[in-house]
Chain A
Amino acid sequence: MEYILIIISAVFVNNILLAQFLGTCPFLGVSNKVSTSAGMSGAVVFVITLATLFTYLLQYYVLVPLGIEFMQTVAFILVIAALVQMVEIILKKISPSLYQALGIFLPLITTNCAVLGVAILVVSKEFSFGGDPHMLNMAQSVVYAAASALGFGVAMVLFAGIREQLDLSNVPEAFKGTPIALITAGILALSFMGFAGLV
């Protein structure tokens, strides 16, 4: 079914991080431990999926009918900021420990390019998952968003695992920290390129 193709495409073929470069800042900043990476990815999946749902509705039921598509950037980022605020408040109430663990990374999800990026992508271009290119409907958009976020998580956790090992190895002084992380990410991206043409 098309949904499976959407998921495979978003997680492997067009990985939001390794192929489209969205979400690189937290990727480089958070991924030194597998546990924090997994936690952050979970939060990101949640926010991206909900955000895309709301921005999709906003785009097609408010912006387009009123002819104010140029307000898209402002409207979308406000929705995302509000959503993250809400998530923070809810998380504080239901799971204070998780809230503590995520710390500053939670509000930082607002500036995660992946969230705004995916929201804009699903309403801007036509997709073809093995068929004719078309604009996504709401269900497909939400699945695509969730799958993209999943791809982000997969890349982050893989990367964190590698970084944990790197920390224990002999890295030349000049390469320590961000440079070696970037080069490693490049090799990871190279390996994901092997999925090209799958869908």
Chain B
Amino acid sequence: MAKESSLKNMVSTLTIVCLISSALMGGAYILTKKPIEAANIAKINSSIARVVPTFDNDPSSDVFTKELNGKSYKVYPAKSGGKIVGYAIESPTANGFGGRIVLMVGFSSDGTIFNTSVLSHSETPGLGDKMVEGKSNFSVQFKGKNPADFKLSVRKDGGDVDAITASTITSRAFCEAVETAWKVYQLCAEAQTNNENSNE
């Protein structure tokens, strides 16, 4: 019922099918390129919006990197009326129970943690993934705290953070990421003060 399987038929059919398929895929690729980029930016922007005070700039386009201990970190400044109201810092850590965790930590201009958001993780559902906002009160305890007097390690290690039950490793990794973000923030705040001083 199908065409005869001669070499010419087989090659021509395969070629035509490949052409049709490539056209389909290429077309879809071109059509979706812009929406995909927009979706990626929207994702970053929404996580930034969760962790810093209200802003009116576009932190994604104002992003810059800061170096700390040989690694570079993405910093998104949030501004309102031209003045910086906070910094959102992407802070990865490799020490999660299931591997890499990436946090977005937001600091207000008074040096306190405004909020945290989990960008990606591979922690165990129901255990480590309780660090995700909304799943437990774990991340709430960081809000408004100033790391200068709120020790960013779990109580077991002498710090002020209440760990997630049965997920000490995840909790430790979370604290580590917040601590790193704070160090980066301090560099930014310092640079900002220097800038303002030199502008006067």
Residues of A with Cβ closer than 8 Å to B? 70-71, 74, 126-128, 131-133, 197
Contact = CB atoms under 8 A, between A and B. Distances in A.
A197 B97 contact: yes
Contacts of A132: 94
B99 interface: yes
Contacts of A74: 21, 25
Given A70-B25, A128-B94, A133-B100, 14 more contacts: A70-B29, A71-B25, A74-B21, A74-B25, A126-B99, A126-B100, A127-B99, A128-B99, A128-B100, A131-B94, A132-B94, A133-B94, A133-B99, A197-B97
A197 B100 CA distance: 14
Interface of B: 21, 25, 29, 94, 97, 99-100
A117 B94 CA distance: 24
Contacts of B29: 70
A22 to B, nearest CB: 16
Contacts of B97: 197
Contacts of A197: 97
A28 B21 CA distance: 33
B74 to A, nearest CB: 17
B126 to A, nearest CB: 13
Nearest to A70: B29
A95 to B, nearest CB: 27
Nearest to B92: A133
A74 B29 CA distance: 14
Nearest to B124: A196
15 contacts: A70-B25, A70-B29, A71-B25, A74-B21, A126-B100, A127-B99, A128-B94, A128-B99, A128-B100, A131-B94, A132-B94, A133-B94, A133-B99, A133-B100, A197-B97
Contacts of B99: 126-128, 133
A128 B93 CA distance: 11
A70 B99 CA distance: 26
A127 B97 CA distance: 13
B10 to A, nearest CB: 14
Contacts of A131: 94
A125 B6 CA distance: 43
A74 B18 CA distance: 10
A180 B86 CA distance: 57
A142 to B, nearest CB: 21
Nearest to A197: B97
Nearest to B122: A125
Nearest to B99: A128
B197 to A, nearest CB: 37
Contacts of B100: 126, 128, 133
A22 B25 CA distance: 26
Contacts of A71: 25
A128 B25 CA distance: 33
A128 B100 CA distance: 8
Nearest to B32: A70
A176 to B, nearest CB: 32
A133 B21 CA distance: 36
A70 B22 CA distance: 11
A132 B97 CA distance: 13
A72 to B, nearest CB: 11
